[in-house]
């Protein structure tokens, strides 16, 4: 992944904005915060931290717990298979009778 794509992904996750100064990119979280030099290694480190970071668990009283209701479904209909009858073979011509040539 190139640096510009990592910068876009970083901005989507962390917000803030980028500033270019003397050919270098800097990231600022807020306009008052000090700029941080953006390098490929720094971006990879931040993106990996965001991906491996466990989601924060809020206080149990903040989110109500919804109990899952058990759903009852009617049973599936049983399928009955019809017996397959073997195919009947055509009667064989006797070996003594001559075969008739086809009409041309």
Residue ranges per structural domain of the chain: 3-52
Query: How many Å apart are CA 40 and CA 4, to the nearest integer?
Result: 9
Q: Does residue 68 have a pLDDT over 70?
A: no
Under 8 Å between Cβ of 10 and 27: yes
Split at pLDDT 50, 70, 90, the class of 26 is very high
pTM recorded for the entire structure: 0.48
For residues 15 and 29, what is the distance between their CA atoms, to the nearest angstrom? 7
Q: What is the mean pLDDT of residues 27-35?
A: 90
51 contact partners, CB below 8 Å, separation of at least 6: none
């Amino acid at each position: 992944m190139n640096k510009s794509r990592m910068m876009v992904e970083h901005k989507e996750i962390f917000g803030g904005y980028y500033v270019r100064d003397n050919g270098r990119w800097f990231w600022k979280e807020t306009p008052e915060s000090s700029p941080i030099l953006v390098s490929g290694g720094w971006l990879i480190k931040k993106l990996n931290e965001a991906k491996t970071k466990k989601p924060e668990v809020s206080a149990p009283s903040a989110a109500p717990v919804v109990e899952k209701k058990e759903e009852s479904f009617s049973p599936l209909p049983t399928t009955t298979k019809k017996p397959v009858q073997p195919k009947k073979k055509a009667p064989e011509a006797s070996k003594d009778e001559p075969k008739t040539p086809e009409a041309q």
